[in-house]
Amino acid sequence: MASLASHPLPCRAATTAAPASRSGRPAPRLLGPPPPASPLLSSASARFPRPPCNAARWRRRDAVRVCSQAGAAGPAPLSKTLSDLKDSCWRFLRPHTIRGTALGSIALVARALIENPQLINWWLVFKAFYGLVALICGNGYIVGINQIYDIRIDKVNKPYLPIAAGDLSVQTAWLLVVRGFLLNFGVYYATRAALGLTFQWSSPVAFITCFVTLFALVIAITKDLPDVEGDRKYQISTLATKLGVRNIAFLGSGLLIANYIAAIAVAFLMPQAFRRTVMVPVHAALAVGIIFQTWVLEQAKYTKDAISQYYRFIWNLFYAEYIFFPLI
């Protein structure tokens, strides 16, 4: 009995009948494990003991768990890729510029409708939304060109942008850029075509196209002002680092003031095409606004916060022009 106690009992007793002996009686059932077939197997059994009786069950559970996790994690890479692509495209479009595109589209459509109120069909609103979505997608032209050519600078000043961060390839960025001329002339004349009107030259549309083109130039030369400290630190050459923040701010403000003076002059030169009572005071007020903001920047000694506020104010002036456009 002592020798039997020294060996562990098997987990499950054998259920098959033992072979019969010569006398016809069944051979006695073995209580212990069968002897090893060879010393080699015996040493292997001693080195790698058999697991307990429930180990196989745990192995099956682990296998099922692993397979379930693998199955659940299968679609994750695709969903993550799509999510990352959506995030990259959204950052590539620079959401604050989308407001300008949306306001411009609404303003041009409103202008065409105001000129022809008898042709307004509210079912066309759905088509207008399709066009707005297309223009928002095409908004990447202005901001996209800038990001494509400023990769080296953006890696320092704006590493969160998708191309600089490596989240969007340059080839993909090139595919996303279209816009420009399409926004002003395209939206206006597409609206006229939807109303069933033939092509007719529009002086207000020509005006807003020229006006915002110069405005886009001002935005282009002032966009690096908030990043001038980083540009100087890493010796990145921009107009702001070459000419100085003060000179670039004065240049941008001077161009905008010239733009507003030209708008006021056009109202007097073409009274039949523009509403002088709106055109003159609005642009005069906006001109005073940029003069005041430039003075505030000067008084603040061109600190980073003051420069950022000045740049945001330029964008607000851009939005304001489209807001007032249907009324001029």
Listed by start position, the domains of the chain span 87-200, 201-327
Q: How many other CB atoms sit within 10 Å of the CB of residue 317?
A: 20
Q: What is the structure's pLDDT at 12?
A: 43
Q: What is the structure's pLDDT at 94?
A: 79
* pLDDT, tens only, 173-207: 776 667 545 566 667 777 777 778 887 888 998 89
Please, which residues bridge with residue 20 across strands? 26
CA distance 21 to 34: 18
Are 161 and 92 in contact by the 8 Å Cβ rule? The answer is yes
Q: How far apart are the first and last CA of the chain?
A: 111
Are 142 and 223 in contact by the 8 Å Cβ rule? The answer is no
Q: What is the structure's pLDDT at 176?
A: 66
Calculate the alpha carbon distances from 118 to 86, 87, 122, 199 in Å.
Answer: 41, 43, 12, 18
Q: Which residues of the chain have pLDDT under 70?
A: 1-76, 130, 134, 137-142, 175-177, 179-186
The phi and psi torsions of 20 (rounded to 5 degrees) equal -75, 150
Calculate the alpha carbon distances from 173 to 18, 84, 319 in Å.
Answer: 79, 15, 25
Largest CA distance in the chain: 132
Whose tokens are 């945001």? That residue is 312
Q: Which two tokens stand for residue 327?
A: 């009324």
CA distance 92 to 326: 30
Q: What is the pTM of this model?
A: 0.59
- Residue 200 gets the label, from left (phi > 0), alpha (psi -120 to 50) or beta, of beta
What CATH class has 201-327? mainly alpha
User: What are all long-range contacts of 199-203, with beta carbons under 8 Å and residues at least 24 apart?
Assistant: 203/270, 203/273, 203/274
Q: What is the structure's pLDDT at 259?
A: 97
Sign of CA dihedral 250, 253, 259, 261: negative
Q: What is the structure's pLDDT at 232?
A: 84
* pLDDT, tens only, 66-116: 444 444 444 447 787 778 777 887 788 777 778 887 888 888 888 888 888
Sign of CA dihedral 14, 20, 26, 32: negative
